[in-house]
Structure 1
Amino acid sequence: MWRSKARQWLLRIPTPKCSPLQYQVPPGTLIASRMPSNRPLPTFTCLQNPRLLSASPSFNSRDLDDSDVGIVGNAVNADDSRESEASPVNLDGEMDESGSFGEKGQVLQEFGDSSLGFDDDKVMSEAADVDSLSSLWEESVSADDSSGVFGSQEASDGVVDEIHEVDDEQVESVLSLLQSTLVEPLEASLNKMELSLSEDFAVRVIETPSISGENLVGFFKWAWRNCRSVRTARVVELLVLAVSDVPELGKREGYMLWDLVKEIGAEKGIVKTEILNQLISMFWKMGKAKAGLEVFDKFADFGCVPNSDSYYYTIEALGKRSMFDTAWTVCEKMISSGRLPDREKIGRIIAFFCKGKKGKEAHSMYSAAKEKEICPQRSWLDSLVCSLTKNDETVSLAFELLDDYAKGSLKYANKSFADVVKGLCRIGDVKEAKKLVLRMVESGPPPGNAVFNFVITALSKGGEMEDAIALMKVMEGRGLRPDVYTYTVVMSGYAKGGMMDEACKIFSEARKRHSKLSPATYHVLTRGYCKMEEFEKATDCLKEMKKDGVQPNTDEYNKMIQSLCLKALDWRTAEQLLEETKESGVPLKGITRSLIAAVKELEVEIQSAENNIEA
């Protein structure tokens, strides 16, 4: 609509009498009107505002479409014969040999063609002063539209932006300087070159490899002070990328770059989020966690908003120095903002907190990802469950996470389920542990011996022997043979309750299933008999142990001898055991030997006292 209004007003501008040579219309800039070919060519005279016709010097007929009807210009003076006798030109500003237009263009016709649909009298009566055209533009055309169609304000005023061509020789001179060993200060050398700086010039230099980070920063600082066109976010971002990619970047160069960015940040809009992210990543690779955190804390000062990479790079930088508590404060901000990284990066964050024994924090990160419908990976669950089960307070969270395992991945989750069973038994929730084992039996993952042993041990220690035996039968029903440890813990449960006959039955069953038992299995029986003060049976167990090819250890002899001396005052049997240890080379504690001698002397004193009484 605004185009049609503009065209109408352009046609309504009155034509004063003046010389046809006062204004010349540049060839190739007129818009052709589709008019009958039998009409004479129009006469162009005394254009009121000719620069409107030449806003685009590269205009040609190929830019036209069917909607571009009419001629941009003033009404023509029909009495002026000099222009009407002018030689015909084609739309490229050249004449045909035949004196007519070439095939590229449309034939230009008079402005007064009736096909335009204007009444000449009406047009002349409504003609306004030239200033009315500008008011129409203000009402009908927005600044953005007008600049796109009529050209920028500077172009319409005859001012054309200066185009800086990069001087290749000057670029090569600067590169040669930056890649060499400097004899004098860099700034002084650059000042002597009298360079024609521009944004493209700076980009060419910065993107050239094999320049030290210090020289890149030095060149940019000098260019920043001497050329305003260099002060763009594009150049700064390229500089940060170039310096951070310098092989074996040193601490000094990294901090020089950061100091420069802080100085540049005084001008709003120059430092962008991507630039700060690259700086954090650079400090992360350099192992400078505190510097990375300082960059992160400057986002608000630069008017930037952290994105998911901002948080991730900062957490990784802090993780490199095991700053787990500080990293969690950054992670909390990330969760609150809702800007989470991709799955792979979330997995690394979870693994990082699990490594730092921050299972609860890792679980919060996991829950935030789940709320964002980011599908969890099995590795996340494995790490989380392992970490959570190590802390008594978070075992229940690990138990809940077992429901998040996909059915197809259960066969790979044996360790996670086993960790939860072990954790439940450790905190005394044996009932839930037993339920979990039965759930594993029913729907997977299939429990192994270790899982059964965790629960059987807990049940035996709690004196729930019937449940322990029942679970051991479930174990056997699944084709698993109870190992020596299983039999030992059940025997221990019976011996602890003084049920030595039941303990012996389990012991006999264990001997049938396993050719060789452990010293701990015999130790359960000897300790049980000593507790019942059946020392003869206890010593028989030691003999049976040696007969089965299992050598009693130092602890076994020490405890047996101490029981004989302190409870039975049987220093003779204790002395025999002492001789056995000497023959087998089993070392005993000095206090054990002294105990035998003390009991022996005590018996002599008692007998002497009794004899004196009788006398």
Structure 2
Amino acid sequence: MWWRSRARGFLLRSLIRRPFPSQSKRGSSKTLSPIPPFTLGWARPVNLQFQNLRFFSSPNEAVSGDDEDKNRSFGFVESSDSLISDAGETGIDGVDDGGEGSSELDGGKDESQVGAESLSSLREESIQDDDSLGIFAPLEPVGEAAEDPGSVTEIDIQQVDKVRSLLRDSSQEPLESSLDKIEVSLSEELVAMVLQTPYVSGHNLVGFFRWALRSEESVKSLKMVELLVNALSSSADLNKMGAYMLWDLIKEIGNEKGLVNTSILNQLISMFGRLEKARAGLEVFDKFDEFSCNPDGNTYYLTIEALRKRSMFNAAWSVCEKMLSSGNLPDGEKLGKVISFLCKGKMTKEAHLVYLMAQEKKIFLPRSSFDYLVSSLSRKDETVRIALELLDNYPTDSLKYANTTFGSVVHGLCRVKEPQEAKKLLLRMAQSGPAPGSAVFNYVITALSKGGEMEDAIAVMKIMEGRGLRPDIYTYCVIMSGFAKGGLMDEAYGIYREAKKNHAKLSPVTYHILIRGYCKMEEYDKALNCLKEMKDYGVQPNADEYNKLIKTLCLKAVDWCTAEKLLEEMKESGLFLKGTTRSLITAVKELEQEAQSESVHAEA
């Protein structure tokens, strides 16, 4: 009957799959997106989660309950009379069935019988013709989405596995000979998959790439070279054989336009740096112009880093000069490492030039690198002033951590005999930070005392005490020594009394300064009293104090008696006097005896 062809046409047309959007023909696999609901004319959307569909044997008669259950089991969409009547005038094969012609073909059967039989035959024909299998089978791309011959097929995967197994093989047979023996249809996709194979040695990957270049022109591309370099660069077991083989390959193809870029060369320099092959890394750096590549900030840093591992300071500075000329600097952290490296090589002036360029480019260094630069500059007499100027750029929020850095500059100023500049910096530290410690005060006090600027030295010591810092024995000794050198022994003795008040135990140096000072002023009694006070205070005099006193008594006071007593004290203390000084006592004694004898004879 007429409705049979229309129903069948509607059913199959409504459920037939539409072509998928075209995908890349060279993709290794295709992901199928879900089929969206679609409509037929004005009909409502047909969802693949089909609802119950009832076929009618005639416009006014439904199929029997059994057939309805069978249809429900297939999950068809429920349809109305009007939907069936609008399904079209032709069958699935496109032949016009015609209403009455169909009736004759049915042999004049009853309409109800024909209806049931038609539905049954429809299902049987669909199964026989595999229409139902096509309808309910898993989704398959059709039309332009069909599998492209250039894609990686199952055969290609097998070929990839063959190559991978061969590259992982540790046999001694030459790699290229082994590759020639296997049948492989080379393609860009296959080579890319092989290059991304883990646990393959670098020299085997390079050997495979060379072999592929001979047979497949598409392999010679920047993308393939990048894959190869990335594979070796990221390898955990990178060795020098693979790195040098890769570098030889790059030198062969590097002059061809578009096969090498800055990133590839940077990775090569990094690889040689990891292998501590600094000269090879420098060779890569020197090839940038030949390969028409422009070095960037990382290029310079990686080259310097490779040279650092071999302590090649001069070569590193030549790279730095090119970096400064180009104006391409790495980030602040890397630049800080470069500056620290130059300072370690005692190239502080050069490191300062790098710092100035960073300032011009507004690149901020890590605080540790800046501290190292300032401290290194302050260790050299000719660069102390530069270090002092750099302190003006110290971040105010980090001043509390800069005690050591500022202290090194104070020490440097004192060393070059600029105590007043050191004093200014000390006062600046006391006012705005970082807080100076006892060592910094001692540097300044020592420099002022050695320069004879005793008033300033005393003033700095008072500031020190005002900040809750107690001057140590060294500080008192320095001031005492300054007074003693100027012949101001009363002032020196006053400092001694103050030190004695603040410290339970003094050092032998404290008394040594007083004894020498009194001897210089020929105040021998006071010198002897200091020696006695020294022993009473629990400080044992050493041979130097005795030697100084004995020589002074013999040569200036001609008091060999006192000198001989001191010699006996030394023996009791277990100290030994030098032979020349001992002979001096004997000589003075004999001279005095001769003088007395001559005087007696003269009177007689």
Equivalences for residues 404-483 of structure 1 within 5 A? 404-483=393-472
Q: Which residue identity does 2:527 align to in structure 1?
A: A
Between 569-578 and 535-544, the greater mean CA deviation after superposition: 569-578
Q: Aligned pair in 2 of structure 1 residues 573, 329: CA closer, same or farther (>3 Å)?
A: farther
Identity of aligned residues (%): 61
Distance in 2 separating the partners of 1:334 and 1:344 = 16
Q: What SS is found at the alignment partner of 2:505? A: coil
Deviation at 1:319, TM superposition (A): 0.8
Residue 593 in structure 1 maps to residue 579 in structure 2: yes
1:280 to 263, 269, 292: 269
2:500 to 506, 511, 532: 511
Distance in 2 separating the partners of 1:199 and 1:569 = 106
Deviation at 1:466, TM superposition (A): 1.4
Q: What SS is found at the alignment partner of 1:295? A: helix
Residue 580 in structure 1 maps to residue 586 in structure 2: no
Q: Aligned pair in 2 of structure 1 residues 208, 484: CA closer, same or farther (>3 Å)?
A: same
2:150 to 163, 181, 189: 163
State the aligned residue count.
460
Residue 108 of structure 1 corresponds to which residue in structure 2?
A: none
Q: What 5-or-longer segments of structure 2 have no aligned partner?
A: 1-18, 20-85, 91-147
Distance in 2 separating the partners of 1:576 and 1:235 = 97
Q: Which residue identity does 1:233 align to in structure 2?
A: L
Residue 182 in structure 1 maps to residue 171 in structure 2: yes
**8 Å Cα contact 1:381-1:401 kept in structure 2:** no
Distance in 2 separating the partners of 1:325 and 1:347 = 18
Residue 137 of structure 1 corresponds to which residue in structure 2?
A: none
Q: Which residue identity does 2:321 align to in structure 1?
A: E
1:541 to 520, 530, 550: 530
Q: Which residue identity does 2:583 align to in structure 1?
A: A
Show CA shifts across 1:275-329 (max 9, x none). Answer: 1101111111111111111111111111111111100001111111111222111
Show CA shifts across 1:25-77 (max 9, x none). Answer: xxx9xxxxxxxxxxxxxxxxxxxxxxxxxxxxxxxxxxxxxxxxxxxxxxxxx
Residue 377 of structure 1 corresponds to which residue in structure 2?
A: 366
Between 265-274 and 473-482, the greater mean CA deviation after superposition: 473-482
Residue 362 of structure 1 corresponds to which residue in structure 2?
A: 351
Q: What SS is found at the alignment partner of 2:354? A: helix
**8 Å Cα contact 2:333-2:365 kept in structure 1:** no
Deviation at 1:368, TM superposition (A): 1.2
Q: Aligned pair in 2 of structure 1 residues 612, 311: CA closer, same or farther (>3 Å)?
A: same
Residue 216 of structure 1 corresponds to which residue in structure 2?
A: 205
TM-score of the superposition, structure 1-length normalised?
0.70
Deviation at 1:594, TM superposition (A): 3.5
Deviation at 1:571, TM superposition (A): 4.7
- The structure number with the bigger radius of gyration is 2
Deviation at 1:177, TM superposition (A): 0.9
Distance in 2 separating the partners of 1:510 and 1:355 = 41
Distance in 2 separating the partners of 1:601 and 1:239 = 93
Q: Aligned pair in 2 of structure 1 residues 225, 457: CA closer, same or farther (>3 Å)?
A: same
Residue 400 in structure 1 maps to residue 386 in structure 2: no
Q: Aligned pair in 2 of structure 1 residues 466, 264: CA closer, same or farther (>3 Å)?
A: same
**8 Å Cα contact 1:571-1:596 kept in structure 2:** no
1:604 to 585, 590, 593: 590
**8 Å Cα contact 1:440-1:447 kept in structure 2:** yes
**8 Å Cα contact 2:558-2:588 kept in structure 1:** no
Distance in 2 separating the partners of 1:258 and 1:478 = 64
**8 Å Cα contact 2:547-2:581 kept in structure 1:** no
**8 Å Cα contact 2:564-2:585 kept in structure 1:** no
Distance in 2 separating the partners of 1:174 and 1:580 = 96
Q: Which residue identity does 1:380 align to in structure 2?
A: S
Equivalences for residues 513-528 of structure 1 within 5 A? 513-528=502-517
Show CA shifts across 1:492-544 (max 9, x none). Answer: 11000011111111111111111111111111111111222333322322221
Distance in 1 separating the partners of 2:576 and 2:303 = 58
Distance in 2 separating the partners of 1:484 and 1:401 = 33
Deviation at 1:408, TM superposition (A): 2.1
Residue 281 of structure 2 corresponds to which residue in structure 1?
A: 292
**8 Å Cα contact 1:456-1:472 kept in structure 2:** yes
Q: Aligned pair in 2 of structure 1 residues 503, 220: CA closer, same or farther (>3 Å)?
A: same
Q: What SS is found at the alignment partner of 1:463? A: coil
Show CA shifts across 1:408-460 (max 9, x none). Answer: 22222122211111111111222211111222222222222222221111111
Deviation at 1:231, TM superposition (A): 0.9
Distance in 1 separating the partners of 2:560 and 2:237 = 76
Residue 143 of structure 1 corresponds to which residue in structure 2?
A: none
Equivalences for residues 300-319 of structure 1 within 5 A? 300-319=289-308
Deviation at 1:263, TM superposition (A): 1.5
**8 Å Cα contact 2:163-2:194 kept in structure 1:** yes
Distance in 2 separating the partners of 1:390 and 1:254 = 41
Q: Aligned pair in 2 of structure 1 residues 569, 612: CA closer, same or farther (>3 Å)?
A: closer
**8 Å Cα contact 1:574-1:596 kept in structure 2:** no
Deviation at 1:363, TM superposition (A): 1.8
Distance in 2 separating the partners of 1:233 and 1:357 = 42
TM-score of the superposition, structure 2-length normalised?
0.71
Distance in 2 separating the partners of 1:551 and 1:454 = 28
Distance in 2 separating the partners of 1:563 and 1:256 = 81
Residue 252 in structure 1 maps to residue 241 in structure 2: yes
**8 Å Cα contact 1:565-1:596 kept in structure 2:** no
**8 Å Cα contact 1:382-1:416 kept in structure 2:** yes
Distance in 1 separating the partners of 2:195 and 2:150 = 20
Q: Aligned pair in 2 of structure 1 residues 452, 185: CA closer, same or farther (>3 Å)?
A: same
Q: Aligned pair in 2 of structure 1 residues 295, 546: CA closer, same or farther (>3 Å)?
A: same
**8 Å Cα contact 2:554-2:584 kept in structure 1:** no
Q: Aligned pair in 2 of structure 1 residues 593, 364: CA closer, same or farther (>3 Å)?
A: same
Residue 256 of structure 2 corresponds to which residue in structure 1?
A: 267
Distance in 1 separating the partners of 2:416 and 2:367 = 26
**8 Å Cα contact 2:489-2:518 kept in structure 1:** yes
Q: Which residue identity does 1:600 align to in structure 2?
A: T
